[in-house]
Amino acid sequence: MSTDRRFSDSHEWFDIDGDTVTIGLTQYAVNELTDVTYVELRPVGTALSAGDSVGEVESVKTTSDVYSAVAGEIVDVNQGAIDDPAVLNRDAAGEGWLVKIRTDDAGPLGDLLDAAAYEERYPTD
């Protein structure tokens, strides 16, 4: 796991690589959702403000929006997660990533939790 990874209280993780931020859902969130059955992501090219939804993840029990903490443009979506939503249950922190966003301002990520703080607040066991 990247040491730059940040976590929100709405249970997204954010990986920073230059001006690109990868967003996914945390294992804690996926455990709460139960089996993921459907993933819908906004298309490549979508312009986002901080706090906008990048898509929806639906499980056996409920439907949940996924939010971006940064403004920018969607430059990639994980077609693998759309085709096989269960990849989120198998590997939420890796293969189950959702979208990549190009941003001019990764600053808001500084306000989010680091891995240790998130794990303490939302333990997975």
Q: Among residues 46 and 89, whose Cβ is nearest to other proteins?
A: 89
Q: Among residues 40 and 91, whose Cβ is nearest to other proteins?
A: 40
> What 3-state class would DSSP assign to 57?
strand
To other proteins, the closest distance from the beta carbon of 58 in angstroms equals 6
Q: Among residues 4 and 56, whose Cβ is nearest to other proteins?
A: 56
Asked whether the CA dihedral 107, 3, 17, 86 is positive or negative, the reply is: negative
To other proteins, the closest distance from the beta carbon of 3 in angstroms equals 30
Contacts of 7 (CB under 8 A, 6+ apart): 13, 14, 26, 112, 113, 114, 115, 117, 118
In the complex, which residues of this chain contact other proteins (CB under 8 A)?
Answer: 31, 34-35, 37-38, 40, 58, 60-61, 63, 89
**Amino acid sitting at position 4:** D
To other proteins, the closest distance from the beta carbon of 99 in angstroms equals 17
